[in-house]
Chain A
Amino acid sequence: MPDVKLSVKDLSVSFKTPQGLVRAVRDINFDLYQKETLAIVGESGSGKSVTSRSIMGILAGNAVVDSGSIIYEDEDLTKIREEDFHKLRGNKLGMIFQDPLSSLNPIMKIGKQITEGMIVNGKHLKNRVKAKAHPQRRKYLNLRDSLEKAKAAYKDALKEAKESGADTAAIKSDFLAKQADLKPAIAEAKAAYNSVLKEAKAEVDADWQAQKAKYAEKIKAVKAQMASASGEDKRGYRQEIADLKEELARYKQVTKKEARERAVEVMNEVGIPEPERRLKQYPFQFSGGMRQRIVIAIALTADPDLLICDEPTTALDVTIQAQILELINRLKEERDLTVIFITHDLGVVANMADRVAVMYAGKIVEIGTSEEIFYDPKHPYTWALLSSMPDLSSRDRLFSIPGTPPNMLFPPKGDAFADRNEYALAIDFEQQPPYFKISDTHYAATWLLHEDSPKVEPPQVIQDRIKAMKQRAKDSTQSEAR
């Protein structure tokens, strides 16, 4: 089994609205393995974008993470501070958005939009200082957080005690003891942090001064040579001095020149012709497919190792879609990326995914490898999704899912899909189904898999289609054997 890259545990996200809490994501669990592509499919409003946005930490202001955790490199992304998130977002976690027109700034040249992130994140000296003091800073901030939490818990307990008329003295003394414990520890941690920070600063500064001196000497030497040279030669020396200066600047930070060189490289990589000329153009001068390539290029400049694609091809037509999918697959191979791919097009899923998670009303109703989901679907919602899409051989009336998704202001008690499901059992309206294991990688949340439930076969359309697909696979292997 490959390593787990990212692990989402019991995640619930709600949105505060004037009408009440909208439960967008409810207790979802999944692991993302190294170098795989996980596709998340579902109707709009099923919570697939909210899931990806909570991984990126870019939920809307009224969103609340009710419970659960997202573990990435031993850190819980739902808990870490915004400043710490800056280091991950963009750098390690890249994201490609749905609409390439609205995710680019219309009045900013492409070159600037691609290099912006590199320049902002490229203060090498500052970054070094920060990295050196990072463990101490974490320790200090964690201690401070725990004190704040203790305070909040104490206030709540006090309120409760007052309401019930219980004795508050014990709670108070308890809290005071805790506070007395924590305060010196915090002070100590802060002092440690400050001293390390000072040290790191001094060290980095000394290094910088040394570099500066080194380069000053070099430049001086060149200047001395230049003084004795004449005419044509002088130009060469001047260039040499400029190069040296640039080299020194690059030691300190990502310079504009460096960023532009890197942008041209990335644009070549994503297949934008004539990148030097294109850098100076505005988004409206690009076609839809090219715009999506730019969005991908921006995500790639920071060398992410996890890429979240939120419906990257929904706004594009078939030919361009095929190109973009090929591009993402190629980049995944070249850069060993792990990809989360969000879409509602099952054809695209079959093309991209190693594993598929089907979401409905904020829950993952079925998860498995793409073979398992397409050849052996178990959940009625997966059946409905598969049969509502015509494929190239379908002729009968299409199956359409009756009704509308439930209002997540009032999440249903039982299975959220029960109302629209012709296979619903009585228990579906009463109780939420647990995950039933079909194989090591395949799980589905439907009571139909319970041993006491009646045996139900998937609809005829799906059976026919699976048969046709198996036949096609057989034919192709036979023709290959020949």
Chain B
Amino acid sequence: MAETILSVRNLKQHFTTGLGRNKLVVKAVDDVSFDIQKGEVFGLVGESGCGKTTTGRTIIKLYEPTDGEVYFLGERISAGTIGIKDQIKDEKRQAAVEIAALKETMAQELAGASDSAKAGVQDTYQAKIKEVELKRDAVIKTLKRDIPKRKEDTAQDNRSILNKMQMIFQDPIASLNPRMTVKEIIAEGLRIAGETKEKVISEKVQDVLKTVGLLPEHASRYPHEFSGGQRQRIGIARALVVNPEFIIADEPISALDVSIQAQVINLLNDLRKDFGITIMFIAHDLSVVKYFADRIGVMYYGKLVELADKDELFKNPLHPYTKSLLSAVPLPDPQYERGRQRIKYDPTVHDYSADLPELHEIKKGHLIYANQAEIAAYKQELK
């Protein structure tokens, strides 16, 4: 069993806009959990706006998570506090309900009791209420103690760990500063990591340029002097220079031309083989994800709806959304294309009013977001 490098637990990322009546909460990522093993390529697919990019950005701490935790190399690197605050609120509400109930029964008993007994009844109930209050305060105290700990874990000073995680961005034109030379762009990460010796920096930049297939003399040029594929290589070099163990590649090939896409995928494949880098690959082109990734997670409106090994997912797609997504992939085969039937996904087929859905492991390594009734149906389908 490979070692888990990254583990995401109940991650939530909600964005709020507006105030008061106009307040709108967008649940970009809603309760997503998955693990990534060392050395694998984890593909995350879904249509635009489904939260796959937000997931990537939250993991690398470009956003503070609303709730949930991210563990990287065994350490908690980010944790939301909203969940705890909600728990505290819940606890308070529960205690208030209990106290109200006690007070009511006390009033009833007082009405029925004789004058002499009244004081005794009152005392016993006061004691009971006190007990509830104490219990509540104790729970809240322990919960509250966790908040500073979470905040501390989330602080940005944990450089030695965070540097092991890097990101490659979608648009190689917009993500490179046009006023910095390639060397400055690549060295920036090193400098932030605390490297001060100019000689070491130069050496490392030269090395990493060779690794991604650029020439050392390219270091003194500016991004606009490069073609699209070369620019994406610079983006990759910038991620590689700090020796990461884990790279989040956010649609690294969507903005590139067909002939160049193959170059970048081959390069990423080599890096993974030569350096054992784990990659989280976010994309919407399913044929590329199928080719490159080992396991694939499918996202739909902030939820992870299906997660499986790539062959398993393409062979036995279970969730209706996955089926619809797979049926929409165009293949370079005219005969097949003429006969291809696209399956439309209708989110209303799920009846989640009574039985709430969860992520279930239906088969070893094959997870699906469904409720009990659906699980039974899917199991039937698998047989």
Contacts and interface: CB of A to CB of B under 8 A. Distances in A.
A and B pair up: yes
Residue picked from B47, B259, B260, B331, most chain A C-beta under 10 Å: B259
B342 A388 contact: no
Contact of A351 (B285, B314, B327, B330): B330
A93 to B, nearest CB: 26
Contact of B330 (A287, A320, A348): A348
Interface string B318-343: 00000011011111111111011010
A469 interface: yes
Nearest to A41: B258
B175 interface: no
A374 interface: yes
Given A317-B284, A404-B227, A472-B336, A322 B259 contact: no
A112 B340 CA distance: 38
Interface stretch (B1-9, B22-30, B72-80, B262-270): B262-270
B316 interface: no
A390 B265 contact: yes
B266 to A, nearest CB: 6
A390 B258 contact: no
A398 to B, nearest CB: 4
B33 interface: no
Given A319-B47, A322-B328, A348-B330, A389 B335 contact: no
B258 A344 contact: yes
Interface string B12-24: 0000000000000
Given A317-B47, A318-B284, A476-B339, A347 B330 contact: yes
A353 B334 CA distance: 8
A351 B257 contact: no
B48 A317 contact: yes
A399 interface: yes
B288 interface: yes
Contacts of B340: 351
A392 B329 contact: yes
B331 A392 contact: yes
Residue picked from A44, A318, A326, A384, most chain B C-beta under 10 Å: A318
Interface string B235-266: 00000000000000000000001111111011
A386 B261 CA distance: 13
Nearest to B256: A44
Nearest to A372: B334
B262 A374 contact: no
Nearest to B270: A397
Interface string A310-353: 00000011111110011000000000000000001111111101
A229 interface: no
B258 to A, nearest CB: 5
Contact of A319 (B263, B288, B328, B339): B328
Contacts of A472: 333, 335-336
B195 to A, nearest CB: 33
Given A318-B47, A344-B257, A469-B335, A397 B269 contact: yes
Given A318-B285, A351-B337, A399-B262, A386 B342 contact: no
A326 B269 CA distance: 34
Contacts of B325: 318-319
Contacts of A348: 330
Contacts of A321: 328, 330
A43 to B, nearest CB: 5
Contacts of A98: none
A66 to B, nearest CB: 26
Contacts of B327: 322
B272 to A, nearest CB: 12
Interface in B283-314: 284-288, 290-292, 314
B287 A391 contact: yes
A370 interface: yes
Nearest to A45: B257
B333 A326 contact: no
B259 A350 contact: no
Residue picked from B261, B292, B332, most chain A C-beta under 10 Å: B332
A374 B332 contact: yes
A350 B333 CA distance: 6
B342 A322 contact: yes
A56 B48 CA distance: 32
A398 B256 CA distance: 15
A400 interface: yes
Contact of A44 (B257, B265, B287, B324): B257
B329 A347 contact: yes
A68 interface: no
B345 to A, nearest CB: 8
Contacts of B328: 318-319, 321-322
A103 B100 CA distance: 63
B284 A349 contact: no
B313 to A, nearest CB: 11
A227 to B, nearest CB: 53
Contacts of B287: 347, 389-392
Residue picked from B49, B257, B331, B334, most chain A C-beta under 10 Å: B334
Nearest to B333: A469
Contact of B324 (A319, A326, A399): A319
A370 B333 CA distance: 9
B330 A350 contact: yes
A371 interface: yes
What 5 A-B pairs are tightest by C-beta distance, nearest first?
A: A347-B330, A390-B291, A400-B262, A322-B328, A388-B262
9 contacts: A43-B258, A316-B48, A320-B48, A322-B330, A322-B342, A351-B340, A370-B334, A388-B261, A391-B287
Given A43-B257, A353-B334, 12 more contacts: A326-B342, A347-B330, A351-B337, A371-B335, A384-B259, A389-B258, A390-B292, A391-B332, A394-B291, A400-B260, A472-B336, A476-B336
